[in-house]
């Protein structure tokens, strides 16, 4: 073992597969960032430029708290939007704050090429072996897929559980025990076991429950704290929540050509980052007759802002209500709750009218 | 052969409308010369004014950047006054860099915003990673307007030369200014911000009134600037910002102060400005965020105190 203590900012529950990737694959210690709290956001906001998008601030807060927890190697990736330039500024801000660390900026390197991927990981630990990473990477990718499948099931059922808290509790156990799994076979059996447990949880689901689709910007949609736990809020109202966006559908598989084809009546060109997926899924939810759609993003997110006029057209063509949320570090909790409640009242009245 | 076909059909005389916003300020030599050579009528929307801005604000999503709101205002002005509106779509210049996703989206943004009006846009798409380059885009555009491929290609080559000549003249003029005595202020801003008559130009005018010489970051040799940009930032993905940062590296030692001028809430600038402020420590920097709301009084005060600081610094150095 080296003395490397690596960390990567939080994204949903993916710290579980990431931990396996770092510890078993790259063979370094991994510091899971402390759970996101108000302090994380405050720290990040205090040292970030004013109108940078909120994910930048959360990431920075995660880095600071991970450094405090002993991390010495920070990893950042690139992306199709401002994310592509996060790394350099994160590093600069943290250096200016006086922290001592190594920064590995994967930037916009094409991760789909296995060899490039390997070379970059080697930067984190030069002693890493190809054999090891080749053994662990498939397990990590499967873990991501299984987490996504389980969470998709939870979102659609948690609002109807007979014993409140059962899904959450099982979900936490599912994630916790997964951290020690190192083989694909073991993982598969584990997944089957847990899916059966999830499916055996008693639910009172009406024949035609309210269905709401959640769409929007990559980070905000996947990090519950950053969207003020909107999915949880919807579940307590007894709604089926459908959210397509996750790592499986965006990083592991490339659905861009399909998305572009689906939405050709609305959009000619790729509008950047996740805009195509946002529009594609909105259209799909509309066609399936969902009761409403919720669009979430961080303040000033350019591609998602540009998708809004298209969403408005879909909303009026298919007569489906869309609620737009834009989060920044100052968003008021009460404002969100009130708007959600009004949205709920509206969709339930529409349903009863039909 | 193509020419004969075009002649036989004798398409009705069309007029192209050009919004005087966003990429206009980078490409107007190229566009105007292209249409002139092809003998195609075109009109350019007027300088941005209060009315155009308000129109844009009405059509745009609240959170959109000021520059894109202004753009929609210009498009709205052109509605009904021409047959086609030129809305170029750019996503990538290949290895040179990418652009803000606003330029990816602008074509569809216009199409989705003005759903109640009847209008046509010209298809003009540059996406080097998918081998859609500028020349191809211009030939397509010429053909769409009823000209032949060879006519369009010829017009593009002429237009490209005109653009080069014009930009060289502007560059040489600035070179002279760089060697002038007196206080020089380097303005780092996108062309569509600093050259816009309503938002950027008032600031340039004020700087001149205060007896200083404005130097423009966008007036620079692109190739040289892209190389020099690495001195300040190595991973910057956006071509337009890279060019400006390169200019900053090139001109920094010849000027007395730097103004970063940004329209709210510009995505790329939100990060790049912070990098500049953190990395450039030997020159005073003023970070101006323009939201199209303020009168000039507040701006004047900020500019005055900025110039005062520079004057103090200079007199210190002389003592």
- CATH number of the CATH domain containing B284: 3.40.50.11900
pLDDT higher than 70, residue B2: no
Residues B206 and B151 grouped into a single domain: no
Do both B8 and B111 map to the same domain?
yes
Write out the residue range of the structural domain in which residue B229 sits. Answer: 180-318
Asked whether residue B48 falls in the same domain as residue B145, the answer is yes
Residues of A in contact with B125 (CB under 8 A): 269
Altogether, the residues listed in chain B come to a count of 319
How many C-beta atoms lie closer than 10 Å to residue B4's C-beta? 9
Residue B129 sits in the same domain as residue B208: no
Q: Do B105 and A303 make contact, defined as CB atoms within 8 angstroms?
A: yes
Q: Poorest-confidence range of A51-55, A120-124, A202-206, B16-20?
A: A120-124
Question: Are both B127 and B74 inside the same structural domain?
Answer: yes
Q: Please list every residue in chain B whose beta carbon sits closer than 8 Å to the beta carbon of residue A315.
A: none
Asked if residue B173 belongs to a domain, the reply is no
pLDDT digits (tens, 9 = 90+) for B59-68: 999 999 999 9
The model carries a pTM of 0.95
Contacts of B91 in chain A (CB under 8 A): 269-270, 272
Q: Measure in Å the smallest separation between the Cα of B267 and chain A Cα atoms.
A: 7
Q: What residues 217-276 of chain B have any CB closer than 8 A to a CB of chain A?
A: 233-238, 264-265, 267-268, 270-275
* Residue ending a domain, choose from B129, B163, B197: B163
Identify the band that residue B319 occupies on the pLDDT scale cut at 50, 70 and 90.
low
Please check whether residue B65 is in contact with residue B264, taking contact to mean a CB–CB distance below 8 angstroms.
Answer: yes
Determine, for residues B102 and A306 on separate chains, whether the beta-carbon distance falls below 8 Å. yes
Q: Give domain status of residue B16, yes or no.
A: yes
B76 contacts in chain A (CB < 8 Å)? none
Shared domain check, B185 and B154: no
Domain finish residue from B163, B189, B215: B163
In this structure, the answer to whether residues B14 and B159 fall within a common structural domain is yes
B-chain residues near A299 (CB < 8 A): 63, 265
Number of domains in chain B: 2
pLDDT band at B3 (very low <50, low <70, confident <90, very high): very low
Mark whether B88 and B41 lie in a shared domain.
yes
Of the residues B163, B190, B212, the one at which a domain ends: B163
> What's the whole-number mean pLDDT along residues A266-279?
95
Same domain membership, residue B203 and residue B138: no
What burial letters (b/e) apply to B272-311, b meaning 16+ CB within 10 Å?
Answer: bbbbbeeebeeebbbbbbbebeeeeeeeeeebeebbeebe
In a domain, B262, yes or no: yes
Question: Quick check: is B169 in a domain?
Answer: no
Q: CB–CB of B112 and A267 under 8 A? A: yes
Domain identity same for B126 and B185 = no
Give how far A186 is from chain B: nearest CA, Å.
41
Q: Inspect the interface and report whether the beta carbons of A52 and B63 lie closer than 8 Å.
A: no
Are B196 and B146 part of one and the same domain? no
Tens-digit pLDDT profile for residues A175-227: 999 999 999 999 999 999 999 999 999 999 999 999 999 999 999 999 999 99
Q: Domain for residue B78, yes or no? A: yes
Q: Quick check: A262 pLDDT over 50? A: yes
Do B211 and B123 belong to one domain?
no
For residue A106, give the chain B residue with the closest CA.
B235
Q: Are B102 and A82 in contact (CB under 8 A)?
A: no
- Is B245 part of a structural domain of the chain? yes
- Residue B295's alpha-carbon distances to A242, A344, B23, B265, B291, in angstroms, are 47, 42, 26, 18, 10
The interface predicted TM-score (ipTM) is 0.94
> Would you state the pLDDT for residue A54?
96
Q: Is B175 part of any domain?
A: no
Residue B57: inside a domain: yes
Q: What is the pLDDT of residues B222-278, one digit of tens each?
A: 999 999 999 999 999 999 999 999 999 999 999 999 999 999 999 999 999 999 999
């Amino acid at each position: 073992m080296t003395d490397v203590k690596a960390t990567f900012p939080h994204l949903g529950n993916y710290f579980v597969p990431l931990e396996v990737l770092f510890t078993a694959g790259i063979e370094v210690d991994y510091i899971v960032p402390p759970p996101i709290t108000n302090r994380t956001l405050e720290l990040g906001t205090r040292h970030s430029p004013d109108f940078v998008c909120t994910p930048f601030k959360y990431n920075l807060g995660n880095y600071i708290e991970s450094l405090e927890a002993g991390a010495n190697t920070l990893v950042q990736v690139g992306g199709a939007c401002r994310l592509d330039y996060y790394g350099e500024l994160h590093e600069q801000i943290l250096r200016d704050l006086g922290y001592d660390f190594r920064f590995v900026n994967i930037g916009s390197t094409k991760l789909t090429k296995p060899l490039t991927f390997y070379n970059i990981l080697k930067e984190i630990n030069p002693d890493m072996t190809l054999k090891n990473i080749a053994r662990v990477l498939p397990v990590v990718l499967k873990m991501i897929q299984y987490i996504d499948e389980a969470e998709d099931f939870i979102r659609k059922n948690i609002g109807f559980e007979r014993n409140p808290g059962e899904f959450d509790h099982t979900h936490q156990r599912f994630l916790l025990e997964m951290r020690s799994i190192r083989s694909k076979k073991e993982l598969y059996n584990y997944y089957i076991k847990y899916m059966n447990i999830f499916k055996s949880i008693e639910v009172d689901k009406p024949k035609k429950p309210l269905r709401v689709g959640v769409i929007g910007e990559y980070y905000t949609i996947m990090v519950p704290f950053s969207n003020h736990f909107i999915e949880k809020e919807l579940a307590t109202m007894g709604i089926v929540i459908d959210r397509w966006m996750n790592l499986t559908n965006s990083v592991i598989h490339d659905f861009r050509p399909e998305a572009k084809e689906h939405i050709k009546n609305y959009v000619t060109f790729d509008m950047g980052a996740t805009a195509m997926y946002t529009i594609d899924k909105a259209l799909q939810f509309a066609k399936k007759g969902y009761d409403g759609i919720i669009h979430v993003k961080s303040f000033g997110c350019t591609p998602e802002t540009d998708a809004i006029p298209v969403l408005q057209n879909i909303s009026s063509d298919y007569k489906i209500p869309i609620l737009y949320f834009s989060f920044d570090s100052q968003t008021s909790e009460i404002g969100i709750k009130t708007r959600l409640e009004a949205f709920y009242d509206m969709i339930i009245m529409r349903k009863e009218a039909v | 052969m193509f020419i004969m076909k075009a002649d036989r059909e004798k398409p009705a005389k069309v007029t192209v409308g050009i919004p005087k916003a966003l990429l206009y300020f980078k490409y107007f030599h190229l566009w105007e010369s292209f249409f002139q050579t092809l003998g195609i009528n075109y009109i350019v929307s007027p300088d941005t004014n209060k009315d155009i801005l308000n129109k844009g604000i009405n059509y745009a999503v609240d959170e959109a950047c000021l520059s894109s709101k202004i753009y929609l205002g210009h498009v709205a002005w052109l509605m009904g006054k021409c047959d086609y509106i030129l809305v170029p779509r750019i996503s990538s210049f290949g290895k040179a860099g990418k652009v803000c996703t606003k330029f990816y989206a602008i074509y569809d943004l216009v199409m989705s915003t003005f759903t109640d009006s009847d209008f046509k846009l010209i298809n003009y798409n540059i996406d080097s990673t998918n081998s859609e380059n500028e020349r191809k885009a211009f030939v397509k555009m010429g053909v769409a307007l009823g000209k032949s491929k060879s006519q369009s290609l010829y017009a593009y080559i002429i237009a490209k030369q005109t653009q080069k000549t014009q930009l060289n003249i502007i560059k040489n003029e600035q070179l002279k200014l760089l060697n002038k005595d007196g206080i020089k202020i380097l303005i780092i801003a996108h062309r569509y911000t600093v050259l816009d008559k309503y938002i950027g130009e008032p600031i340039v005018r004020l700087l001149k009134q205060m007896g200083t010489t404005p130097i423009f970051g966008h007036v620079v040799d692109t190739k040289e600037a892209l190389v020099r940009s690495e001195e300040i930032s190595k991973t910057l993905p956006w071509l337009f910002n890279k060019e400006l940062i390169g200019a900053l590296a090139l001109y920094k030692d010849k000027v007395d102060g730097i103004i970063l001028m940004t329209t709210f809430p510009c995505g790329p600038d939100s990060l790049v400005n912070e990098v500049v402020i953190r990395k450039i420590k030997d020159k005073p920097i003023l970070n101006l965020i323009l939201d199209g709301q303020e009168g000039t009084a507040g701006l004047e005060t900020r500019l005055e105190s900025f110039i005062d600081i520079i004057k103090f610094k200079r007199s210190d150095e002389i003592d």
